[in-house]
Amino acid sequence: MICYTKGVTGPRHLVSIADLDAAEIVRILDHGDRYWSLADEPIKKLTSLRGRTVINLFFESSTRTRTSFELAAKRLSAEAINIAASSSSTTKGETLLDTGRNLLAMHPDVIVVRHSFGGAAAMLAEASRCAVVNAGDGQHEHPTQGLLDAATIRRHKGRVDGLEIAIVGDIQHSRVARSNILCLSKLGARVRLVAPWTLIPRGIELIGGELTRERVRVCTRLEDGLDGADVVMMLRVQHERFAGEAPRFPNTRELSRTFGLSERTLQYAKSDAIVMHPGPINRGVEVSPQVADGPRAVILQQVSWGVAIRMAILERAVLGGPSSAEQAA
Ligand code: ASP
């Protein structure tokens, strides 16, 4: 039986992977496992969050994350309400906190928030009586992506512990990289960060203290970074976060030539290595179409896991864990 120990009396926020220990991460992944096969059922609806309200508050664009949170809420019979930045009162000068306070006055059970400011989810969680789930805050974290990536790896490799995982691309601006470094290290993997120096933040290996200092290493050559890797996770260049920065590489074509994943460069990794990408993919830039659509890619499975893991996260947020019906099953 799954049993969450933390936050039993208060809201179960999910702001950062840093707040979860390995046992709790495994509990969430086990919880998500129960919903993986639901996608194959003709009727995909459960009732555990009937009468509950989930607000998706998105100040940055999103396809997969917003849709999967909405689907996850609906599959648990919760009401899902979507607010996009362009239609919110922040465009009229309202602060994030004031928007949050107004939404809280309507008594939702969960607020899922995405914002360009790293720290936005934590700020809202501090002011909130209901659970706050971080759907990506600036360059800081994207914890549900880290969890769904771990679930995908576990499904394909049978474990995370002991695997060699290469994260390749724009580490500098990637919240996905930060959440994955923490999540995968906590689960016992070794992580290589593969990019030119200019796309790797100084001291990133220390993001999780001693644990990540031991488990994370930086590689500035693709060949070294992929050598013997079980998992290759590609990241796009986050051009939208470069505003005001000096150029970090000569041009995208050159970056693609030296750090792009093609059928040729994938051969540096183990012959059974899987290829992941959080999306959106820039085909022909960080990953070739042949690899993205090839047999080693599990990119669309990541999207499917997104729904299952977000169902688990919403139940954890509202109920503290799986519904009692689910526990009994
Ligand atoms: N979808 C991911 C994110 O929101 C990755 C990306 O945009 O490149 O961070």
CATH for the 143-303 domain, from 3.90.180.10, 3.40.190.10, 3.40.50.720, 3.40.50.1370: 3.40.50.1370
pLDDT at 326: 58
pLDDT at 5: 40
With a Cβ cut-off of 6 Å, ligand 1 is lined by 136, 142, 175-176, 236, 238, 278-279
Q: Are 25 and 142 in contact (CB under 8 A)?
A: no
pTM of structure: 0.94
**Spatial distance between the Cα atoms of 135 and 60, rounded to a whole number of angstroms:** 10
Domain 17-141+304-320: CATH class, spelled out: alpha beta
pLDDT at 8: 41
Q: Show me where the domains of the chain are located.
A: 17-141+304-320, 143-303
Residue ranges in the chain modelled with pLDDT below 70: 1-10, 324-329
> What is the 3 state secondary structure string of 107-158?
CCCEEEEEECCCCHHHHHHHCCCCEEEEEEECCCECHHHHHHHHHHHHHHHC
pLDDT at 248: 82
pLDDT at 10: 54
Q: Which helix (H) or strand (E) holds 308?
A: helix 299-319
DSSP-derived secondary structure letter, 108: -
Whole-number percent of the chain with pLDDT over 90: 84
Question: Identical fold at 17-141+304-320 and 143-303?
Answer: yes
Alpha carbon of 14 to ligand 1 centroid (Å):
18
Alpha carbon of 300 to ligand 1 centroid (Å):
15
Given ligand 1 and candidates 112, 114, 142, which is best to mutate, with the most ligand atoms within 8 Å of its CB?
A: 142
